[in-house]
Each structure stands twice: as structure tokens, then as C-alpha cells.
Amino acid sequence: MIRRRTLLAGLGAGLLAAPLGLPRPARAQAPTVIRMGSLKLIHSIAPHFYEQFTPAGFKVEVVPFESPTECKNAVVTKSVDFGTFGIAAGTLGAAAGEPLVIIASTCNRGMAIIAKKDAGIATLKDLKGKRVALWPGSTQEVFALERLRQEGMSVKDITPVRISFSEMHIALARGDVDAYVGAEPAPGVSLASGVGSLVEYPYGTEMGALNMVFGAHADTTAQRPEIVRTMLEIHRKATDYAQGNRAAMIAMAVAKLGQKREALELSAPNVELKWKLGATEIAQAKVYADRMLALKQIKRLPDFATFIDTRFVDAMRDA
């Protein structure tokens, strides 16, 4: 005779064991996370549109940085997978032998020389003897110094003041400086508020309007080409969308940068978002590197055979 206790125990064990024989529901696979470094500037706004163009199975985390050098360093140390920064930061790193590769463009233009309104500064020559805010090692610094050279001047003719891009408008408003060489949206803020007046957009050099680039670690391009292709396809779509939809670009900048819409309305026309990278940009980058060498900002020129790699954007353009 089977005792009641034994029967219940057997039934319980069977109930517990039964599910083991059934197929278990598959766990949802976690998405591949791509960490993207981006500056707190309107001409680095494209990454904030990535989410709507990211394919299933991937997630892009946008990591904000204050300065181009910080973002470039994060790429070099692999703290982020990709990053946007000025051509200056990229050239400094490549000239120092860092494993950095430029694989696309991010933005042209996006810079301006702004003076305190009614300060009597209408041209570059009027900057002589004035306090001018500059961010050392930035793309804007090299453009400004090249424009001074074209006007028969040098950095010795001004009093350079080290101030970050985000603080330049405030410094001008306080009277700490007489002018600044800034990055949008600061010029737009200064113009919209009536604090500043435009001296010039410094694009009249052989460097054109070259500004921000899209970089990766050399290991990433060599060992993870599929990730590079996926990321650049996202970058292409987001860039084309934002550049073709100014209202969306401004709305995103208001949300992410905390700037006033009226200032961004003045900044946006001075920003050209782009992803294509080719012969023109390489030629401008080489001129840029020559100027940095002449200014003794770098000790040697980068190896452009490895510094700029257009294979991925070439493939997208030809597809």
C-alpha cells in the first residue's frame, strides 16, 4: 500500500520537475552599446539625433564633454568608442603618435570672432592690444592666428586669455575680455543679447571652414569594422536629417544645451553639419597641420596615411 505522505511527496516532486522538461522562453539579448563622445556645442548636435536612426540590437549612449581635447582623449583611452572633436585636437593627438583615426566629418563652420559691442572693434586689426579669449589647442585658435598672420599681425599683438568656449560669452558680458574667438552657440548668444558684435567668421584661409571631425581608436577600425559601419550609417542619417531640418536642430539644441531659441536662431546658419570626408577635407587638414607646426603647437606632422581613413565614408557614398 502506498502511504498518503509518500504519494503527495511524489506528486510534488513531479510537479517541480515537470517544467524542466519544457522549453524555456529565450532571454531577450541585450543590445550592443556604443559609447559616443560629443561636445556641448550646437555643431556637435548630431549625436543627439542618433536614437531615432539606431537599428535594432544596438544602443548609442551619448557622453558629453566640455572640451575637444577631453573628448579626443576619451577615444584614445577607449573610454568611448567614437567621438566628435575639433581637427586641432585630432592633429595634436596624431602628431604625438596617439592611435587615433579620423573616419568622417562632423561639422564645418561653427566659429566666430566676437567683440564687445560699442568697443570700437570692427576688424581684426582693431584687436591690437586687446584682451582676446582663446581656448589653447582648439581649432578656433589656429584659424584666428592664421587670420592675424594674413593681416600682418601675430598673437604678440593681442593679450590672449585662456577661457573655455562655454564661458566666453559670460566673460565678454562681464568685461573680462574685449573679444573672443568662440564656438557656437556662444556667438549667437552674444549677438542675440546685444552684448557682442560680429568681427568676422574666420573662413577666408586655405583651411576653408574645416572644424569638427569624427574619430575612433585605431584598434576599433582594425578589429571592429562592422561596428564602425553601423555607427557611421547612424551618423550619416542623423547628420543629414539635422542639417536638413533646422527647426529640429534648434529644438534639440534648446533641449540639450539649455540655450535660448533666439540665440540659436542666429547660431544655426553658421553651422554646417556633415559626414562626408574626402580629398578637400584632407587637403585642408594638411594645411591646418602645417600651420600648427609653424606655430610650434606640434613637433612633427601626423602620418596622414593612417591619421585619416576615408574607406568607410567612401563605401557609404558609393553605395
The residue behind cell 561636445 is: 39
Query: What strands, in cross-sheet order, belong to the sheet with 82-86?
Result: 58-65, 32-39, 82-86, 210-217, 100-109, 271-273
Using a cut of 0.75, tell me whether the model's pTM lies above it: yes
What CA dihedral angle connects 84, 89, 95 and 100, to 10 degrees?
Answer: -20
More confidently predicted of 1 and 66: 66
Q: Which of 145, 35, 37 minimizes the C-alpha distance to 86?
A: 37
127, 202 contact by CB (below 8 A) = no
Provide the pLDDT for residue 18: 44
Per-residue confidence (pLDDT) for residue 24, from 0 to 100: 58
Residue 175 CA, chain-centre distance (Å), reads 29
* Least confident residue range of 1-10, 96-105, 230-239: 1-10
Whether 111-200 and 32-108+209-318 are alike in CATH topology: the answer is: yes
The mean pLDDT value for 113-118 works out to 96
Buried b (16+ CB within 10 A) or exposed e, 96-127: eebbbbbbbbbbbbbbbbbbbeeeebeebeeb
Q: Given pLDDT bands bounded at 50, 70 and 90, which one contains residue 65?
A: very high
3-state secondary structure of 214: strand
pLDDT(8) > 60 = no
pLDDT digit string (tens) for 258-290?
888 999 999 999 999 999 999 999 999 999 999
Domain range list for the chain: 32-108+209-318, 111-200
- Per-residue pLDDT tens digits for 11-64: 444 444 444 444 555 566 899 999 999 998 888 999 999 999 999 999 999 999
Length of the chain equals 319
- At 179-219, the pLDDT tens digits run 999 999 899 999 999 999 999 999 999 999 999 999 999 99
Please state, for a pLDDT cut of 70, what percent of the chain lies above it: 91
Mean pLDDT of the chain, nearest integer = 91
Q: CA-CA distance, 286 to 283, in Å (whole number)?
A: 5
CA distance linking residue 53 with residue 210, whole number of Å = 26
Phi, psi of 182 (to 5 degrees): -120, 180
What pLDDT does residue 139 have?
87
Residue 28 confidence (pLDDT): 65
Q: What is the pLDDT of residue 319?
A: 67
pLDDT at 182: 94
DSSP class of 49: G
Q: In the CATH scheme, what is the code of domain 32-108+209-318? A: 3.40.190.10
- CATH superfamily, domain at 111-200: Periplasmic binding protein-like II (3.40.190.10)
Owner of C-alpha cell 559601419:
229
Model pLDDT, residue 9: 46
Does position 74 have pLDDT exceeding 90, yes or no? yes
